[in-house]
Structure 1
Amino acid sequence: MGLGREEADLLRPDTLGDAVERYLPEVVINAAADTAVDRAEAEFAAAWRANAVAPAALAEACRDRGIRLIHFSTDYVFDGSQRTPYLESDPTAPVNAYGRAKLGGEESVLNADPKHLVFRLSWVYSARGRNFALTMLRLAREGKPIRVVDDQIGSPTNARCIADSIAEIVGHFLALPEEPGGLFHLSAAGQTSWAGFAQSLLNEVFGGVAPTVEPIPTSAYPTPAARPAYSVLSNEKVQRRFGIRLPAWEDQLALWAEDLNGPSLPGHC
């Protein structure tokens, strides 16, 4: 069951307990967030309220009712100074306001109840909504120049694969309700740059007539918020704990292209 803003508004954290009480589910999955990375620099109070205060209130409401919470965080809690995939135990040091707010949220959730779970995600995209992949597709169809940064490295992750993995994990905890939760990374295998991702997704959709992406340095595309230069996440922990192994980002991209033509079929990606 999915709740909209009318029933569970992140900007009104005091109402979240009532929403939980109304339905009393076995598990709550919080996929809501304020993901406007650049806007958070100027409107940090709003970003903090949605990404830190609201998850804290939701985590406490779930704890008080014996309900497990699954919450999503981000690779942007890291500063990008490493050149090997980040472990859950690596020090956090967000370089932007959005990352600081998300870090506050994940800490609040984990401190509220050891049964709660936080999954850090990376470069999420899907065949629906608003995201980087669909923006690249729109620019290509409009015949506009496509210039994308080539010095930020991460792991593009299909939202469909995240959803399928979380469904498996929920089943695991429904069967083992007393098992502790924790912090996990959940992202595609492999890595690429934003420019490499853009070119690959256009090749996937347009084949031999795909437009060419012009790689540019981050310095040529200034934004209000800094981004980590490297934010690849290690999935070793989630693989050991749940047997979850997400496909390579290239394989997830092929599934995304299929989903552009219709709704996803159930089943693991």
Structure 2
Amino acid sequence: MPVRLTVLVPGGSGQLGHDLAALASDAVDVIAPGSAELDVTQTGQVLAAVGALAERARENGSAPVVVNAAAYTAVDKAETDEERAFAVNADGPRVLVAACASRRVPLIHVSTDYVFSGDAASPYEPSDALGPRSAYGRTKAAGEDAVLGSGVSSWVVRTGWLYGKSGSNFVKTMTSLESSRPELSVVDDQVGGPTWTFDLASGLLELASRVAAGEGPEQRVLHCTNAGSVSWCGFARAIFSHLGADPSRVKACTSAEYPQAATRPAYSVLSPAAWKEAGLTPMRSWEEALDAYFAA
């Protein structure tokens, strides 16, 4: 019989937090405060939130789990604001694991493909060496270290190229530009795995259920993205097709032709092998997910 869950989602106002909250049901009670309600860098706030989670779970006879979706994700801004990015992406998880330890609550921490260098020629496995090339990537790698080195019952789930109904993302940007420009150039030398936040949220709650039942995977670092890979240019063309627009209006360019403050991984495809080996439901392809996103 499935375990009933009460899940605290720091970062509840973001894309992923929004979809985690949308999946609340009779079996899954979701508390999803935004950063204005729960600042993960503030120890007092975090201790109170995790304590309230534990008490609420006790009262309704469910198992408490924290799914940390809070993150500083302004990748370019982080290059000149690394101190704040580190506070949210590294110190925040450190505060969370300490609070979880005090209440014996397991933690699932969401991380990113940016912890890798991007030099690989095949999908990254969870055990591959890290080599972040941006402030954002460095701070997220430090957050992983804080979680994995804590001794708390915890898992790190890396993902990437997120888009959802809430907040700003690449799909929304392309949708806006399609209606305002006859042509646009998009980089074709960066390859990754686009991931719909609804699918990721579903996977995270499946993992949370396993953890709550005492059946958490032995592997503590997992990768969860929609299956397959594509370049940003290819992804943009797929979006145009869904909009009924001519995909040839999207022109390929190189990263050198589109300079940005932060270096992006040239290749950041994440292997699903560990996720599948853990017995978790395999993610559908990015093409199927994009179909479902537009259908919704």
- TM-score, L = length of structure 1: 0.91
Larger mean Cα displacement after TM superposition, 226-235 or 124-133: 124-133
Deviations 1:104-158 (A, max 9, x none): 0011011113520110001111132111111000111223532110000111011
Paired position in structure 1 for 2:129: 91
How many matched pairs?
258
- What pairs with 1:4-153 in structure 2 (closer than 5 Å)? 4-24=34-54, 25=57, 26-143=64-181, 145-153=183-191
- What pairs with 1:228-239 in structure 2 (closer than 5 Å)? 228-239=265-276
Distance in 2 separating the partners of 1:166 and 1:228: 24
CA-based RMSD: 1.7
* Structure 1 stretches of 4+ moved >3 Å: 177-181
**Consecutive unaligned residues in structure 1, runs of 5 or more:** 260-269
**Consecutive unaligned residues in structure 2, runs of 5 or more:** 1-30, 58-63
Which of 157, 164, 189 in structure 1 is aligned with 2:202? 164
Over 3 Å counting, the alpha-carbon distance change for 1:210 and 1:232 in structure 2 is closer
> What is the one-letter code of the residue matched to 1:229?
A
Distance in 2 separating the partners of 1:246 and 1:102: 23
| Secondary structure of the corresponding residue to residue 225 of structure 2 | coil
Q: Percent identity?
A: 36
| Secondary structure of the corresponding residue to residue 107 of structure 2 | strand
Deviations 1:154-190 (A, max 9, x none): 1101111101111211222222267656111111111
Distance in 1 separating the partners of 2:235 and 2:216: 40
Over 3 Å counting, the alpha-carbon distance change for 1:176 and 1:244 in structure 2 is same
Deviations 1:28-86 (A, max 9, x none): 11111110000010010000001000111101110221001111000000001111000
